Chain A
Amino acid sequence: MSEAFSVRKYLRDLKLPFCPGCGIFTLMDAFLRSIHELGHEDLKDFVFCSGIGCSSWICSPYFVADSIHTPHGRSIPVATGIKLVHPSLNVVVFGGDGDIVGIGMSHFIHAARRNLDILVIMVNNMIYGMTGGQVAPTTPFKTKTATTPYGSFEEPLDATRLAVTAGACYSARWTTAHPNELKESIKKALRMKGFRFIEVVSQCPTAYGRRAGFKNVGEILKWLKENAVSIGQAEKLSEKELEKRVVVGQFVERKRPTVVENVYAVIKEAQVNDTKS
């Protein structure tokens, strides 16, 4: 941390496309601060993969880095190919809730299962924002959206707990109302190995906030702050009491052999056997 932090050195000289008040700005700031505080002067040791949706534009093409912007939901397979072939690179995936646990759900579970050595940061704005506010797998029950005009009739998914079940080495949830905790979580995840997942519950004032009855961004952030409950406290609360609450904190931290280590062990073994025969 020799010099003062500036997002500029990590960003291309392009105009950012996000709506005023979007939660993505908070995440971009937290992520790049993490990079800075970990001592990376640039992003040359990183590769970023993303799919389709607002949050997939965080890295593509705005980061001065290698970035691969894939079809909807397919960032994790492309990240898998890169990490397997080039294990020394830090591979980070950015995506939205629709991208990662909607259309891309299967890849997400399997990457956690095989313990692919990547960090997945999922912006959960509880809606399909870019396409105009349709119901997402993360939309709270009874929420009115463009495609649920009478209110959503499905229960939302808990992606952070799913990551734990699927085998992630690190899984945490924070919100854009917790920028400091988010930054520290990203720093921790970047220093770890294995499949790491961070869910960032974020505001979409354009497609979600106004439908959900929030007058401005400040109201959404206030709601997130007031309704967030730590994972420790949450254990003492009933299911009823946890309705409409956002459970934040670190859900798991563990070590498992990664698929990258295992694949290269197989190569080594096959070559030894090949020489013998």
Chain B
Amino acid sequence: MTTTKSNTYFWQGNQACAEGAIAAGCRFFAGYPITPASEIAAHMAKRLPQVGGIAIQMEDELASVGVAIGASWAGAKAMTATSGPGFSLMQEFIGYAFITETPCVIVDAQRAGPSTGQATKCGQGDVMQSRWGTHGDYSAIVLSPNSVEEMFTLTVRAFNLAEEYRTPVILLADETIAHMREQITVPSSDSVNVINRRKPRAGDKAFFGLEEVPPMPAVGEGFNVAVTGSTHDEYGIRFTADPLVHKKLVERLNNKIRNHVEEISDFEDYNIEGCQIALLVYGCTSRAIYEAVEKAEAKGIKIGYIRLKTIWPFPEKLVRKLAEKAEKIIVPEMNLGQICYEVERVANGLAEVIPLNKIGGGELITPEELLAKILREAEKNE
């Protein structure tokens, strides 16, 4: 780590992610090499042993997330990091972490897919996969950083949400945010808000129900905890056929997230009340909006935006409010349209939803392209 007297550094996004994890109390990392996430593994391999933690490279991404889940049940805060192809492999264990209520953080630094695609180039094609990637009924918490600083702060938040809700949390970064370097001011360790999982008291037996988020023991603490990816009752006992046990478990697992959308949601907004044209943005694509908005305003266009830092659970109330105010919502994405359909569903005709898509070569949507789109849509209005 480059050390200066102040807490200001010039870091790569992946390094900021690794340091954010350590600040949040992460002491276990496992990964498998993949562009553009490998620097997280390299940084963790260097830094974690210095703070008494473990970093290990596993045989594949299945094992990487599996070993993190094992570490979590042994009481450690654990993380893995990957990109699209590895994220696909991890889906099996993501569902397992969800049903077993295992806190852990999975970083997906997106690249252009499908499959190997353009391995070193930026994309935002994993947005729906981050929500629906594993099978069955589940709810995901997915955060979307748009700067090196947010690679730090949102990684901390990912751990806090994982611990608070006892669920896997996905940090959905992208190649641009992961690889770029920016100035970052790191908060001192005592000013970082760190949340830890609630531990059971002596005699507690229900670690999978009775409460919305039950307490979580670690193995070796004498609680005889039975963890299973099969449907189970409050005590971890498998019920593979009882309809009520399944309904009760799966509804609680989903509701513990769906009933707390407002607490989980984090966003930046501007001029929602007074806008005619709105932008709904997230991740690297959102970096183009500031210049575009300034120039659009200079031309007299009433413009506002919402930048989502939490993509999932989708903040329906917030986006509906935007649709009530704006006539048009432009949704720029580095994919062929993913979040725009969610916006359209929530807007439900209240505002026109206009996708702005760009893929290939990792080329970002530029402020000029965004401004041109805004001007075209404003002209149509006149």
Which of these binds chain B: A177-185, A226-234, A240-248, A267-275?
A267-275
Question: What's the minimum C-beta distance from B166 to chain A, rounded to whole angstroms?
Answer: 15
A82: chain B residues within 8 A (beta carbon):
70-71, 73-74, 219
Tell yes or no: B136 within 8 A of A by CB.
no
Tell me the bound Cα distance from A82 to B30 in angstroms: 13
Tell yes or no: B52 within 8 A of A by CB.
yes
The count of residues in chain B whose C-beta lies closer than 8 Å to any C-beta of chain A is: 44
- Establish whether residues B96 and A71, one from each chain, have CB atoms under 8 Å apart when the complex forms: yes
A83: chain B residues within 8 A (beta carbon):
70
- Establish whether residues A85 and B71, one from each chain, have CB atoms under 8 Å apart when the complex forms: yes
Tell me the bound Cα distance from A79 to B227 in angstroms: 13
- Establish whether residues B54 and A47, one from each chain, have CB atoms under 8 Å apart when the complex forms: no
Tell yes or no: B223 within 8 A of A by CB.
yes
A266: chain B residues within 8 A (beta carbon):
49
Which of these binds chain A: B17-25, B59-67, B123-131?
B59-67
Interface of B is mostly: mixed
Question: What's the minimum C-beta distance from A9 to chain B, rounded to whole angstroms?
Answer: 13
Q: A110-B59, A274-B50 are in contact. Are A69 and B228 (CB under 8 A)?
A: yes
Q: A78-B73, A81-B78, A86-B74 are in contact. Are A71 and B50 (CB under 8 A)?
A: no
Tell yes or no: B238 within 8 A of A by CB.
yes
Which of these binds chain B: A60-68, A154-162, A210-218?
A60-68
A84: chain B residues within 8 A (beta carbon):
28, 54, 56, 67, 70-71, 74
Flag A31-66 by CB within 8 Å of B: 1 or 0 each.
000000000000010010100000000001100111
- Establish whether residues A263 and B224, one from each chain, have CB atoms under 8 Å apart when the complex forms: no
Could you tell me which residues of chain A, from 121 to 142, have a CB within 8 Å of some CB in chain B?
none
- Establish whether residues A60 and B67, one from each chain, have CB atoms under 8 Å apart when the complex forms: no
- Establish whether residues B228 and A271, one from each chain, have CB atoms under 8 Å apart when the complex forms: no
Question: What's the minimum C-beta distance from A34 to chain B, rounded to whole angstroms?
Answer: 20
Tell yes or no: A221 within 8 A of B by CB.
no
A86: chain B residues within 8 A (beta carbon):
74-75, 218-220
- Establish whether residues B49 and A267, one from each chain, have CB atoms under 8 Å apart when the complex forms: yes
What interface size band does chain A fall in?
35 or more
- Establish whether residues B228 and A60, one from each chain, have CB atoms under 8 Å apart when the complex forms: yes
Q: A66-B219, A263-B54 are in contact. Are A78 and B59 (CB under 8 A)?
A: no
Question: What's the minimum C-beta distance from A12 to chain B, rounded to whole angstroms?
Answer: 8
Q: Which residue of A lies closest to B30 (CB)?
A: A81
Tell yes or no: A250 within 8 A of B by CB.
no
B71: chain A residues within 8 A (beta carbon):
81-82, 84-85
Tell me the bound Cα distance from A85 to B78 in angstroms: 10
Tell yes or no: A14 within 8 A of B by CB.
yes
B66: chain A residues within 8 A (beta carbon):
70, 74, 77-78, 80-81, 107
- Establish whether residues B63 and A80, one from each chain, have CB atoms under 8 Å apart when the complex forms: yes
Tell yes or no: B332 within 8 A of A by CB.
no
Tell yes or no: B229 within 8 A of A by CB.
yes
Q: Which residue of B lies closest to A77 (CB)?
A: B66
Given A81-B28, A82-B219; 17 other pairs, CB 8 A cutoff? A47-B219, A60-B238, A61-B226, A61-B237, A67-B225, A67-B226, A69-B228, A71-B229, A74-B96, A81-B74, A83-B70, A84-B67, A85-B75, A86-B220, A89-B220, A266-B49, A270-B50
